[in-house]
Amino acid sequence: MTHFFNQILEFYTWQGVALSAIVIILFFVQIYYYGIAYYRIYRFKLMRHRDKICENPPISVIVTVRGEDEQFLTQELPALLHQQYNHYEIVVVYIGNDVEYYDELQNIRNNYSYMRLTKMSGSGRIYITTKQALNVGIKSAQYDSLLFTTTGAMPRSEHWIEFMAKGFERGEVVLGSAVPQFEQSNLRTFIMRMVEFHRLRNAMSRAVVDKLYYAPRGNYGFSRRLYNSTRGYNHLGIDIGDNDLYLQDIVTPETTAVVMSPHSVIAEERPDKWGEWLEYVRYYGATRKSYPLSVRSFISRERGSRVLFLLTAIIAIALLPLELKLGAAALIALRYMVVVWSSHRTARKLGERGVALKYWIYDLLGPFMEWIISSNESHNTPKLWR
């Protein structure tokens, strides 16, 4: 055995063997992510992982409206009010001073007995934060299962609440999928979609093994019991973090319920312009630096191993003997087949479409995109609690 190994070293040199070993190790790291960690999303079924703790819980859907948002008034609120579920309410917290807009909200409220409306006014130097508004919404809600969404978010189905309620039947922290929606469909917006898809995939792959650290802003919920047990939101110095830092504070392995169905997906509106989208992801990604080390390591290992695998494999193809060149090329091809197969299936489960054919673009550009996003902070520092 030793003689055989010495022959290999003599023929391929230490450098060649070491490079080949690195390529193989990085290949298996990538296979772990795409073939195991991410593929758990496709295989996950809530009913297999959680027993029922209640039946058809009444749901309070809480949404804050900052300013005069006409799209919320004409499209998003009607979609919420016409959900097919027997026992729910919509709690709207309006932050603003426009009398006519508030009157329109009141007129709608008068026609729907299951809509609640609260007004908060800020003026001068007083800034009303999202967490303050959510506190008011939670206190106004009459039910103990609290589901949160945002303006700019639209349920893809009239059964959205019904399916999210299935999460509350089996857990106290519930999250569903959300996909970004752009007005235009081009290469730029495809890359933007894939960046957000990959971030959501990282989060969902942890959530399905009871290690939740993030939920989409427009599609998550928790019980009033958990909220009361923490005396409200944490990280009060920033106006974000209610859907990740706070959830990390209240979640336990026994409380998480992940709902993945075409009926439970929310479409979240995004800006088409590159600069505006970058500002959006940077602003709401400002909490990532406060995530636990295990979460940050899980995210960065995939990105780092992807870059290193492609670089070392290309070097191997350029420098090593023919048989090792062919081996490196085969590993590149095999990895990509696994990546596309896994990404197609998980994307379909999370509500994304049209991923497979163009995925190679994001596969190559993804790490560079993440570097661009992290290279600058948001120009809008998350607002202070005042």
Q: Look at residue 10 and tell me whether its pLDDT is greater than 70.
A: no
Residue at 219 is within a domain: yes
User: Is residue 204 domain-resident?
Assistant: no
Read off the CATH number of the domain in which 59 is found. Answer: 3.90.550.10
Q: Do the domain assignments include residue 223?
A: yes
* Residue 352 falls inside a structural domain: no
Within a domain: 131: yes
The domain total for the chain is 1
Average confidence (pLDDT) over 172-191: 95
Q: Which two tokens stand for residue 281?
A: 């992801």
**Residues of the domain holding 236:** 46-184+213-270
Which residue in 211, 65, 61, 221 sits closest to 130, CA to CA? Answer: 65
Kindly report whether the global pTM for this prediction surpasses the value 0.85: yes
Per-residue pLDDT reduced to its tens digit, 65-75: 998 999 999 99
- Whether residue 208 is contained in a domain is answered as no
Q: Cα separation of 165 and 56, whole Å?
A: 7
Q: Is 345 exposed, middle or buried (0-12, 13-18, 19+ CB in 10 A)?
A: middle
Distance CA 45, CA 66 (A): 36
Q: Is the pLDDT of residue 369 over 90?
A: yes
| Domain-embedded: residue 259 | yes
Q: Quick one: average pLDDT of 180-206?
A: 96
Banded pLDDT at 237 (limits 50, 70, 90): confident
- More confident of the two residues 122 and 1: 122
Res. 7: pLDDT tops 80: no
Q: Decide if 366 is inside a domain.
A: no
Confidence class of residue 3 from pLDDT cuts 50, 70 and 90? very low
Res 182 pLDDT > 90: yes
DSSP, residue by residue, 310-327: HHHHHHHHHHS-HHHHHH
Per-residue pLDDT tens over the stretch 281-338: 999 999 999 999 999 999 999 999 999 999 999 988 888 888 888 999 999 999 999 9
**With 70 as the cut, is the pLDDT of residue 381 above it?**
no
